[in-house]
Structure 1
Amino acid sequence: MKKKPTPVKNRLNTTQLIAVVAADLGTDPAAVRDTVMATFDAIARANASGHDVAITNFVTFISHRVKRTKRRNPQTGDTFTAPAHQVVRVRVSPTLADAVRRRDRKVTIRKAPKGARTPAE
């Protein structure tokens, strides 16, 4: 018998996310914390190294290099040169964007089996 996912009723911070994942897996939050934090750390390391991270049907974290540009201080009117730097852009997948638009509370990012039209259960 498949367990129902834990409903999310409020905004999630890291601690609450860990609690929800632990409840869904039926394990101790302390055990889940290491996995969640290691996942976040791996994403951060990849982006800091200039690599993109794509999580299918969810989100892509794009590491982007911004060129040196001239800018203007709006308070003083002085122009200055902003140095080149690395930024992270986030692109949401069309699957997730559509689920949010429809307010689908049962959305999953699991990939559908080959030939299937609906996500894996």
Structure 2
Amino acid sequence: MADAPPPDLLAYWLGVRAIDVAAGLGGGLVRGLVNPSYTWPMRLTSAVVGAITAGYLTPPAARVAAQWYAAWGGTSGEVTGAVGFFLGLCGMTVAEMLLRWARHWRDKAPPPALPR
């Protein structure tokens, strides 16, 4: 009898796959380690934000990436890990941008409109 894979507890509790969270954690950790001005708490925060970002955004982003990859002649390979890592790498940057945008809006005036 074949062994059953272990249950994915993150998917059960939070609705995110553990593999996506792990890829985002790695991406966030790399982002934190590459920036020499970050302190260790900032690096850990970057890893956690990367994990959260990748956990929730990898499934829709991976579908788009797989379609794009196939349109350019690629075989239908698994792109989920790379997408999760990339989202983890960019997650803290996007979070910082949104926080700056919200502070600007709170303190001064509404933020500028997004370009069309």
Give the TM-score normalised by structure 1. Answer: 0.30
Which one has a bigger Cα radius of gyration?
1
**Bigger relative contact order (CA 8 A; separation at least 6):** 2
Query: TM-score, normalized by length of structure 2?
Result: 0.30
Larger helix proportion of the pair: 2
